[in-house]
Amino acid sequence: MFAKKKALVICKSTSGRLCLGMLLSRIAYDPILTRSVYDALLHLEEEAACIIILDGDTPEEERSETFSLLKTATVSRELPIVAVLSEVDDSLSMHLSASGCAAIITKPVDISLAYGVLGKLSGEPRKTPRVQVRIRVEIAEGAPAPSLFSVNISEGGIYLRTPHPLPEDTVLHLSFTLPYDQEKITVAGKVVRTTLLGANLNEEPGMGISFVEIADEIITRIRNFVTLSLSSDLEWERAI
């Protein structure tokens, strides 16, 4: 199992830190939660991170000081900084960019957008977030069985549990219904990776399938399900 990448969070609000920490944990990061830039710099002296997420809903003078300290301190000056704000206009966007901000994400945080932004800046190869879900998936080809249960899903693909995974590049035609959805999804997919029974104690035996020839409408339905599953219980607030 791959170790999660460390993401350092700076947020004055306790509930804000909780929301950002939960979000990062759910999209495969290991959050380091700090209340101030001084606390953050002390943590970075002891533990490295790959990215900094800053709650930018603070007074302008305080926000500017935070960026200045982060971009001059040896432990943080090379790290990308992502600002999370309730509102942003062109003037603020330009000011943040000039201060060293690598990207801006607005609240409430869109999971798919945040995953893409953070992944690009931190070198995460996976393009879209996934969520654990157990649903029955019918396989038109009937192999390795007429139906299997899923382990997780993203808008890019699905992982099916089976002790008898098919060879990579095998094309399958799948049908399934998402939780909270009424209409069945039918999509083609290609086996892109397999895990044999007992080969990895941290992962279910089975096969990862990448969707191919998938309609935009189906992508949207899967994205909405993933977003709902990952973030429906998070309540965003201003950190001031």
pLDDT one digit per residue (tens) for the chain, 240 residues: 457 899 999 999 998 898 899 989 988 899 999 999 999 999 999 999 999 999 999 999 999 999 999 999 999 999 999 999 999 999 999 999 999 999 999 988 888 888 989 999 998 877 888 899 999 999 999 999 999 999 999 999 999 999 999 999 999 999 999 998 989 999 999 999 999 987 776 788 999 999 998 999 999 999 999 988 888 777 655 443
State which of 126, 149, 177 marks the end of a domain.
126
Please state the pTM of the whole predicted model: 0.80
CA-nearest of 135, 147, 154 to 172 is: 147
Whether 10 and 52 map to the same domain: the answer is yes
Are the CB atoms for 196 and 190 separated by under 8 Å?
no
Whether 9 and 121 map to the same domain: the answer is yes
CA 190/CA 212 separation, integer angstroms: 7
CA 124/CA 128 separation, integer angstroms: 10
Whether 39 and 122 map to the same domain: the answer is yes
Provide the residue range defining the domain that includes 156.
130-230
Whether 212 and 226 map to the same domain: the answer is yes
| Per-residue confidence (pLDDT) for residue 239, from 0 to 100 | 40
DSSP codes, 105-132: EESSP-HHHHHHHHHHHHT----S-EEE
Query: What token pair was written down for 218?
Result: 């189906």
State which of 94, 126, 158 marks the end of a domain.
126
